[in-house]
Amino acid sequence: MSWFFIALVGYFFLALTFILDKLILTKSVGKPVVYTFYSTIFMFGAFFAWPFGVELLNGFDWIWAMVSGVAFGLGLWALYTAVKRGETSHINPFNGAMVSIATYALSAYFLGERLTSLQVGGIVILVGASLLLSFEKSRNHNGFHMGFVWAGVSGVLFALSHVSAKYLYDVYPFLTGFVWTRAMTGLVGLLVLLFPSVRKTFRKKYEKPKTNAKRHAGIIVVLTKIFGVIAVVLIQYASAIGSVSLVMAMSGLQYACMFVIILLCTKFIPRVFKEYITKRELVVEWLAIVLVGLGSILFVL
């Protein structure tokens, strides 16, 4: 069960990444397409692992690598758009639920994955917990809104990316599959260069930052990318050695971690990061966290 603990650590780092992403999108970068560029173009850096035994792919497998990489990049773009429109503690859990459902469906159809009854039960509980964590009541929204539509689109794209990557992990060494799928994500960075708002950032004149978030934006972005790389490597490796459906369903653990971190930030450092949380939300989300623990336990029985 080493894949379980590897995925657990990966999701903790992903929780930190998503919180920092929200901070950047609301206080520094602003436009999701611009942040998408800086999140994807650097994926070409995966080629630095070439000397460590990366192999060339065969025939149609190049298409699968491109599908995985491009779908991942587009999934990020859709997710950033969703987070821009809503609270990260609600948007991301909904996204995770969609990823779990779509991954299970696609992996069963294309990869022939079969799970035990307990594992399917664990997925159902984790998806239910993620949907509970998704209920949003804030100053701008009350319930479902357009941000959730973008989160759903992102979830399907992420699932397509994960399942096609899993196919390559079953055929090639992990490093080969990982490098080619991540490098292909860089193509999305080239695509969004077509947007004037992205090109404009290259010639933007220097202005004195007005807030601490803008002043330290560069440091936050670098830290976010480091956490993101660690999270992606661990989660992808867990998918390679375990079941991709189970690893993706474990995203409920990520949202439990994220909610606790957001709660602590809102209480102790609201000037840095704060979300509007009602007493009803607290009860619902703590119940969801209990369900997350129960659903995760079923994976290891």
pLDDT digits (tens, 9 = 90+) for 171-186: 999 999 999 999 999 9
Residue range 93-111, pLDDT digits in tens: 788 888 888 898 899 888 8
What is the distance between the alpha carbons of residues 241 and 117, in angstroms, rounded to a whole number?
A: 21
What is the distance between the alpha carbons of residues 113 and 93, in angstroms, rounded to a whole number?
A: 24
- Percentage of the chain lying above the pLDDT 70 cut: 86
Per DSSP, helices labelled H in the chain are 2-27, 32-40, 61-85, 88-106, 117-134, 146-171, 174-191, 196-200, 212-215, 217-241, 244-249, 251-268, 279-299
Cα torsion angle, 300, 263, 13, 133, sign: positive
Chain centroid to Cα 19, Å, comes to 11
pLDDT averaged over the chain?
83
Q: Are 100 and 126 in contact (CB under 8 A)?
A: yes
Domain boundaries, the chain: 2-299
The owner of tokens 């004195």 is 208
Among the residue ranges 20-29, 101-110, 118-127, the one predicted with the least confidence is 20-29
- Please return the burial class of 142, using the count of CB atoms within 10 Å of its CB with bins 0-12, 13-18 and 19+: exposed
More confident residue, 297 or 238: 238
What is the distance between the alpha carbons of residues 160 and 154, in angstroms, rounded to a whole number?
A: 10
Q: What does the pLDDT read at residue 175? A: 95
The owner of tokens 């080629």 is 47
The owner of tokens 């991942």 is 72
> Which tokens go with 246?
């189970």
Chain centroid to Cα 58, Å, comes to 29
Query: What is the mean pLDDT of the segment spanning 178-202?
Result: 91
More confident residue, 264 or 216: 264
